[in-house]
Amino acid sequence: MTGRLAGRTALITGASRGIGLGIAEGFAREGADLLLAATNADLLAQAKSGLDAYGVRVETAVVDVTDRDACFDLVRKGTDAFGGIEVLVNNAGIYLARPFLDYSFEEFHRIQEVNLYGVFHLMQAVLPQMIERGYGKIVNVASTAGKWASRNQSAYNVSKHGVVGLTRCVALEMGRHGITVNAICPGLVHTDLLDQYREVHAELAGKTVDAVEAEFRARVAAGRFLDVAECAHLAVYLASGESDGMTGQSLLLDGGMLFV
């Protein structure tokens, strides 16, 4: 531990597994106290058990980010427990692949509710205290899907394009308050979501999972998928004082899949 985030409290959504849990571990290693939010109480308890070993304070809350009141209650809980929240990581997200014409309105809307409106709710909940403090860090986890077009996942892409746009606009308004707002746009990362992604796209393409995985790897200059720890390294940078001069950016972390 080098203490790059010592003395700070971070609220991380979708923190019970995958990229969110990886970011939580990276933050704990750097000395941040944590408020972890997710929808699965058992997985949150497991996450807390592992993170307690770093000697930081870890609190958890079962929260659905589509519930605006619950999001504001979550921020109040963090403020009461820790005295404030200096870092917000919006990582909660869902994925559902469909050809565009096969999406029901309810499916399309649900993805926007979680992936985009959840970010909206939590930023509005946490920003007033950051403004009052004159300092804050917001890290939104978007996706390469927020940068380009993809087949059979228009709802997901729309939600992540929205996160990228929201990141830019809020950064523009918050800069004078000493608050930075940036986004990470991961590519193909080893998580359970990647397993789902491969299986669904194999079914839609009428190919084997192995064939689809080979096609995915061929699209990446590095020839491999990323690890959640690599996302955590970038999140730590964006949450630390090292990135005080960076805001409104949506940073590709994809092993060279997109060059935009």
Q: Which residues are catalytic?
A: 156
In whole angstroms, give the CA distance from residue 68 to residue 46: 26
Burial class (CB in 10 A: 0-12, 13-18, 19+), 129: middle
Strand ordering across the sheet containing 87-90 = 58-62, 33-38, 9-13, 87-90, 136-141, 179-186, 250-253
Main-chain dihedrals φ then ψ at residue 42, nearest 5 degrees: -65, -45
By C-alpha distance, which of 102, 118, 99 is closest to 110? 118
In whole angstroms, give the CA distance from residue 155 to residue 134: 36
Tokens of 92: 């909660």
Q: Cα 125 to the chain's mean position, in Å? A: 17
The DSSP bridge partners found for residue 153 are 98
DSSP-derived 3-state class of residue 6: coil
